[in-house]
A and B are shown apart, each in its own frame.
Chain A
Amino acid sequence: MKTAVVLITAIVAQAFGDVCLTKGMKAIAGLETSGAGLSELLSQVSHIGLQAMQSPMVWVGTLLLIVFFVLFSAALSWADLSFVLPATAFGYVLNVAAGNYFLGESVSNRRWAGALIITLGVLFVSRSGERTSETPRDEVAPGVLE
Chain B
Amino acid sequence: MMTALLIGLVVLGGSAGDVFITKGMKQVGEISTLNARRLVGIFGRAITNRYVLTGVLFMAVSYFSFLGALRLADLSLVLPATSVSFVITTIGARLFLKETISAMRWAGILLVCIGVALISIPSQP
Contact = CB atoms under 8 A, between A and B. Distances in A.
A92 B116 contact: yes
Contacts of B104: 124-125, 127-128
B30 A121 contact: no
A93 B61 CA distance: 26
Give the interface centre of B33, B43, B115, B121 by most chain A CB atoms within 10 Å: B115
Q: Which of B45, B97, B112, B114: most chain A CB closer than 10 A?
A: B112
Contacts of A32: none
User: Is chain A's interface secondary structure helix, strand, loop, or mixed overall?
Assistant: helix
B62 interface: no
A126 B108 CA distance: 8
Given A92-B119, A125-B108, A128-B108, A82 B101 contact: yes
Nearest to A41: B71
Contacts, number: 154
B43 to A, nearest CB: 8
24 contacts: A76-B22, A77-B26, A81-B92, A81-B97, A82-B94, A86-B105, A89-B112, A89-B116, A92-B119, A111-B118, A113-B118, A114-B118, A115-B115, A117-B114, A119-B115, A121-B109, A122-B112, A128-B105, A129-B102, A133-B26, A135-B29, A139-B27, A139-B29, A145-B32
A53 interface: no
Given A89-B86, A118-B116, A145 B30 contact: yes
Interface string B37-49: 0100011011000
Interface string B97-125: 11111101101111111111111110100
Nearest to A129: B102
A123 B18 CA distance: 22
